[in-house]
């Protein structure tokens, strides 16, 4: 039997590169200036999965992501680096999902891929930093979770030993399988694209992407069916509509305020108590500190 | 209305973590606003005097599960005890520390209870909400306020329909305050053995060792960096003092590292770490190109320097003309005075 590893990943706006140019004059985020990237910690997760595949030839790595059509980019990226297959969960009904609704959809997709042995994701995504989707998906699957993983020390068909990196030290744990692991950024970086795989998978497309292509891929896909990236809708997952998207999300955003970063001429202050108190008040009220 | 619960994290010394005491202090204020009780949940083994420690924070009830299998923390047994308790008690609000334990436990609990959870809140308030779509008015909700989108926006999150309303908060965000040294609550002992099943022990700890945390300035949102102009190792202590109250990290220029003021791990710049914090306070740093390459993407830069013509002032949002020894104590004083 195959040893099936499912990697959960997310395409995110690159919030780390919010430099001065990525903010508009009114201080709001210029989303268009932010590239969409493979969530960095999910790449660490992919590396963990691929390094298992290096050691166990009968292991397979499947990338699962939820998002708009464009999110297929990270499935191809994973294929170039060594993933065997990918699935895109996509449906307007998922729009507005919080972490609970997201973990519900992801857990249904993981169940559809059963029997599986291991689910691996990054600890958190840089656009939200919540670190909630991993544990919530594990709970919905009814399997144990190992968060803050740094290294998989050993693995067999029934159990896994993992080193966790915590705030104040290191913990080594043993878990039964299947289990869900979330990987820290202290784990090894992901390997780069492999030239041969890039050639093999560069025409991989979802059904929606194929419809938008001007070129006819029919013949190529008859020859190489592995190029098709399957898309799963809410219906494919047999999801209850009330558990999806906004209606399945207990958290609501009441208000959003932009943190205003304007690069102006340097303000010259003296070392007087008055100047320094005023500066500290400005920093606190603009949420930069405090 | 039902009560406010705080999950009290048990430390290595089998006491209660500071972050939990801070949350009890905040929880007491919220409980007073809502005219409800404050309840603490302690799950561990042989915890040192939980009653004497917790009641002064205004705790009305301590729910205490004491069992050797509950210490050190593992996810599933703690989740099982909490779910069992919450199904009976139906809390209105639950707070967890945003620690490696709280951030592991709270989402698992929220998923099982199908309730909302907001991570890393920086402020918690009580307020109302009117939902235009359904023309429904919600009274006394918990406003869960947090930075999002890489710290570029501040979001206020609410859970209108589901209970409990859950949030995690980082250590140092709320203030630890004793409510009344004479305050007395009552103890509710939880019989963990009747709740736990074999499946809850799917994960076992093989080995643990505690280390000093590694220096990690890269992921810090606020960096206080010092240069040769700080003058001495002793003066660098002022930077650490400011960093501690702001939850920041201390960085340094190459000149300060070479002078032996701080460790190499703190070096920012071309041959050190590249950082992009929300706020970079450059203290006594002239601003050589090599240093600027490692920090010029910071969202806000404050330069403290006796030399008004220091090159770093050209990229600073604020320039304070003065010595580090004079300015930093004032920053500490006025931060404390003006923050909540």
Its domain, for residue B292, covers 222-338
Binary contact (B158, A148; C-beta < 8 A): no
Strand ranges (E), chain B? 4-8, 38-44, 61-66, 93-97, 117-121, 123-131, 136-148, 153-158, 165-169, 186-190, 203-210, 222-226, 249-252, 279-283, 300-305, 318-321
Whether B207 maps to a domain, the answer reads no
Same domain for B271 and B146:
no
Half-sphere exposure (Cβ direction) of B293: Cα atoms closer than 13 Å: 9
Q: Is A19 on the interface with B (CB under 8 A)?
A: yes
In-domain check, residue B217? no
CATH code at position B163: 3.40.50.620
Range scoring the smallest mean pLDDT among A60-69, A114-123, A254-263:
A254-263
Nearest to A289 among B203, B246, B308 (CB): B246
For strand B165-169 and strand B117-121, is the pairing parallel, antiparallel, or unpaired?
Answer: parallel
Both B194 and B236 in one domain: the answer is no
Residues B42, B168: one domain? yes
B192 shares a domain with B57: yes
**Whether residue B186 is found in the same domain as residue B316:** no
- Judgement on whether residues B49 and B84 belong to the same structural domain of the protein: yes
pTM (predicted TM-score): 0.80
For A126, residues 6+ apart whose C-beta sits below 8 A from its C-beta are A12, A14, A15, A16, A39, A40, A41, B150
The answer to whether A130 faces chain B, any CB pair under 8 Å, is yes
* pLDDT tier for residue A30 given thresholds of 50, 70 and 90: low
Residue scoring higher pLDDT (B68 or B340): B68
> Interface pTM (ipTM) of the complex?
0.88
Higher pLDDT, A171 or A260: A171
Query: Is the pLDDT assigned to residue A23 strictly greater than 60?
Result: no
Per cent of chain B over pLDDT 90 is 74
The residue among B328 and B171 whose pLDDT is bigger is: B328
The alpha carbon of residue B85 is apart from the nearest alpha carbon of chain A, in Å, by 18
| Contact yes or no for A18 and B115 at CB 8 A | no
Q: Supply the CATH number for residue B249's domain.
A: 3.40.50.1220
Q: Are B33 and B126 in contact (CB under 8 A)?
A: yes
Q: Are residues B29 and B129 part of one domain?
A: yes
Number of domains in chain B: 2
Nearest to A174 among B206, B208, B246 (CB): B206
Q: What is the Cα–Cα distance from A133 to A107, expressed in whole angstroms?
A: 10
Please report whether residue B211 resides in a domain.
no
Residues in A closer than 8 angstroms to B108, CB to CB, are 135-136, 138-139, 145
B256 touches chain A (CB under 8 A): no
Q: What is the model's pLDDT at position B94?
A: 98
- At residue A262, the pLDDT reads 42
B206 touches chain A (CB under 8 A): yes
Burial category of B140 from C-beta neighbours within 10 Å (exposed 0-12, middle 13-18, buried 19 and up): middle
A32 touching B (Cβ < 8 Å): no
B102 within some domain: yes
CATH superfamily to which A3-243 belongs: HUPs (3.40.50.620)
Q: What is the pLDDT of residues A34-50, one digit of tens each?
A: 789 999 999 999 999 99
Chain B residues with CB inside 8 Å of A176's CB?
202-203
Is there a contact between A251 and B330 if contact means CB atoms under 8 Å apart?
no
Which of B201, B234, B257 terminates a domain? The answer is B201
What's the mean pLDDT when you consider all of chain B? 92
Q: pLDDT digits over B132-169, tens only?
A: 989 999 999 999 998 777 556 788 999 999 999 999 99
A171, A179, A287 member nearest B205 (Cβ): A171
Check A135 against B108: CB less than 8 A apart: yes
Which of B7, B165, B110 is closest to A132 using CA atoms? B110
Q: Are residues B184 and B310 in the same domain?
A: no
In a domain, residue B15? The reply is yes
Residues in contact with B49: Cβ distance below 8 Å, sequence separation at least 6, in sequence order: none
In a domain, B290, yes or no: yes
Note whether B124 contacts A: Cβ–Cβ < 8 A: no
Q: Are residues B229 and B195 in the same domain?
A: no
Least confident residue range of A15-19, A106-110, A234-238, B195-199: A15-19
Q: Do B136 and B240 belong to one domain?
A: no
The whole-angstrom distance between B177's CA and the closest CA on chain A is 18
Q: What string of H, E and C letters represents the secondary structure of chain A?
A: CCEEEEEEECEEECHHHCCHHHECCCCCECHHHCCEEECHHHHHHHHHHHHHHHHCCCEEEEEEEECCHHHHHHHHHHHHHCCCEEEEECCHHHCCCCHHHHHHHHHHHHHHCCCCCEEEEECCCCCCCCCCHHHHHHHHHCCCEEEEEEEEEEECCCEEEEEEEECCEEEEEEEECCEEEEECCCCCCCCCCCHHHHHHHCCCEEHHHHHHCCCCCHHHHHHCHHHEEEEECCCCCCCCHHHCCCCCCCCEEEEEEECCCCCCCCEEECCCHHHHHHHHHHHHHCCCCC
Q: Are B279 and B299 spatial neighbours (Cβ–Cβ below 8 Å)?
A: yes
Which one of B169, B338, B339 would you mutate to disrupt binding with A, by most A Cβ within 10 Å of its Cβ?
A: B338
Residues of chain A with Cβ-Cβ distance to B113 below 8 Å are: none
Q: Which residue of A has its CA nearest to B117?
A: A251
Q: DSSP label at B267? A: B
Could you say which residues from 10 to 49 on chain B have a Cβ atom under 8 Å away from some Cβ of chain A? 12
Same domain, B168 and B29: yes
Asked whether residue B248 is domain-assigned, the answer is yes
Q: Per-domain residue ranges for chain A?
A: 3-243
């Amino acid at each position: 039997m195959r040893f099936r590893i499912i990697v959960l990943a997310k395409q995110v706006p690159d919030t780390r590169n919010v430099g001065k140019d990525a903010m508009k004059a009114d201080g709001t985020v210029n989303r268009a200036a932010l590239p969409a990237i493979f969530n960095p910690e999910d790449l660490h997760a992919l590396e963990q999965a691929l390094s298992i595949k290096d050691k166990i030839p009968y292991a397979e790595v499947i990338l699962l992501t939820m998002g708009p059509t464009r999110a297929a980019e990270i499935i191809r990226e994973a294929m170039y680096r060594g993933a065997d297959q990918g699935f895109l969960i996509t449906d307007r009904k998922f729009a507005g999902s919080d972490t609970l609704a997201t973990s519900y959809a992801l857990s249904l997709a993981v169940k559809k891929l059963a029997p599986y042995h291991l689910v691996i994701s990054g600890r958190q995504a840089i656009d939200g930093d919540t670190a909630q989707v991993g544990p919530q998906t594990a709970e919905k699957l009814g399997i144990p979770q190992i968060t803050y993983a740094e290294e998989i020390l050993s693995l067999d068909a029934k159990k896994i030993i993992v080193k966790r990196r915590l705030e104040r030290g290191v913990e080594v744990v043993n878990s039964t399988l299947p289990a869900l692991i979330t990987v820290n950024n202290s784990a090894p970086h992901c390997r780069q694209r492999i030239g041969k795989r890039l050639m093999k998978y560069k025409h991989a497309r979802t059904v929606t992407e194929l419809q938008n292509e001007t070129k006819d891929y029919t013949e190529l896909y008859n020859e190489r069916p592995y190029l098709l990236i399957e898309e799963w809708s809410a219906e494919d997952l047999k999801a209850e509509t009330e558990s999806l998207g906004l209606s399945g999300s207990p958290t609501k955003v009441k208000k959003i305020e932009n943190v205003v970063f304007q690069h102006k001429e340097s303000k010259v202050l003296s070392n007087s108590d008055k100047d320094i108190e005023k500066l500290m008040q400005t920093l606190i009220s603009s949420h930069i500190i405090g | 209305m039902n009560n406010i619960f705080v999950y009290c994290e048990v430390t290595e010394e089998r006491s209660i973590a500071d972050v939990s005491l801070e949350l009890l202090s905040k929880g007491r204020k919220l409980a007073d606003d809502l005219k409800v009780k404050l309840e603490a949940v302690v799950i561990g083994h042989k915890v040192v005097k939980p009653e004497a420690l917790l009641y002064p924070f205004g705790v009305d009830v301590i729910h205490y599960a004491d069992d050797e299998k509950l210490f050190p923390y593992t996810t599933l047994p703690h989740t099982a005890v909490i779910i069992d308790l919450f199904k009976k008690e139906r809390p209105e609000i639950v707070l967890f520390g945003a620690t490696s334990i709280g951030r592991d436990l709270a989402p698992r609990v929220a998923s099982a209870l199908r309730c909302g959870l907001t991570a890393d809140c920086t402020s918690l308030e009580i307020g109302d909400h009117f939902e235009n779509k359904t023309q429904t008015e919600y009274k006394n909700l918990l406003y869960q306020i947090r930075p999002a989108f890489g710290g570029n926006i501040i979001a206020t999150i609410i859970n209108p329909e589901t209970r409990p309303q859950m949030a995690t908060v980082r250590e140092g965000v709320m203030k630890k305050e004793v409510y009344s040294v004479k305050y007395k609550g009552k103890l509710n002992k939880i019989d963990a053995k009747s709740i736990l099943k074999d499946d809850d022990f799917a994960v076992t700890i093989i080995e643990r060792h505690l280390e000093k945390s590694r220096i990690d300035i890269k992921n810090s949102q606020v960096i206080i960096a010092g240069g040769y102009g700080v003058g001495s190792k002793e003066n660098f202590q002022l930077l650490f003092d400011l960093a501690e109250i702001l939850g920041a990290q201390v960085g340094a220029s190459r000149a300060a590292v070479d002078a032996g003021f701080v460790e190499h791990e703190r070096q920012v710049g071309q041959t050190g770490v590249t950082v992009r914090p929300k706020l970079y306070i450059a203290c006594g740093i002239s601003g050589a190109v090599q240093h600027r390459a490692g920090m010029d993407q910071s969202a806000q830069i404050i330069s403290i320097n006796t030399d008004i013509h220091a090159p770093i002032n050209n990229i600073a949002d604020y320039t304070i003309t003065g010595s580090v020894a004079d300015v930093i104590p004032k920053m500490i004083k006025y931060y404390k005075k003006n923050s909540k």
